[in-house]
Amino acid sequence: QVQVVESGGGSVQPGGSLRLSCVVSGHSEVTGWFRQPPGQARTFVAAFRRSGYGGMTYYANSVKGRFTISRDNAKNTVYLQMNSLNPEDTAVYFCAAASRNLIASSLRHPDNYDYWGQGTQVTVSS
């Protein structure tokens, strides 16, 4: 059984930064971040996959170079550092966990994740 709790959302001006946190209890092979603007579908942002010594990270093209996903194993927490935010980043951000390992293509799709957090609002506006 896996539980997911995310936090850290808020309001920020364009160019600002936020750091989201996701506490995952239980075992998960992949932890991902997704976002859902109002009235739109949930889309992939970033993911952390348990692989090798330090794991593997994956990013949507829209956030490469701006967002960084990382993990604190001692706290069982995955972070999403978001820099250079713009209004297009405004959305409810969800953390999700997959109990099974996911290949690179699969971890970009929300239907492949088993457990979801409640979501945290991120608003970027002038």
The phi-psi region of residue 118 (left if phi > 0; otherwise alpha if psi is between -120 and 50; otherwise beta) is alpha
Of 98, 101, 121, nearest to 111 by C-alpha is 98
27, 101 in Cβ contact below 8 A?
no
Query: Would you state the pLDDT for residue 53?
Result: 63
Query: Would you state the pLDDT for residue 55?
Result: 84
Residue 98 burial (10 A CB sphere; 0-12, 13-18, 19+): buried
Q: State which H helix or E strand residue 10 sits in.
A: strand 10-12
Query: Would you state the pLDDT for residue 52?
Result: 60
Give the pLDDT confidence of 19-35 residue by residue, as tens digits.
999 999 998 999 999 99
CA distance 73 to 85: 27
Choice between 40 and 27, residue whose per-residue pLDDT is larger: 40
Give the pLDDT confidence of 85-116 residue by residue, as tens digits.
999 999 999 999 999 999 989 999 999 999 99
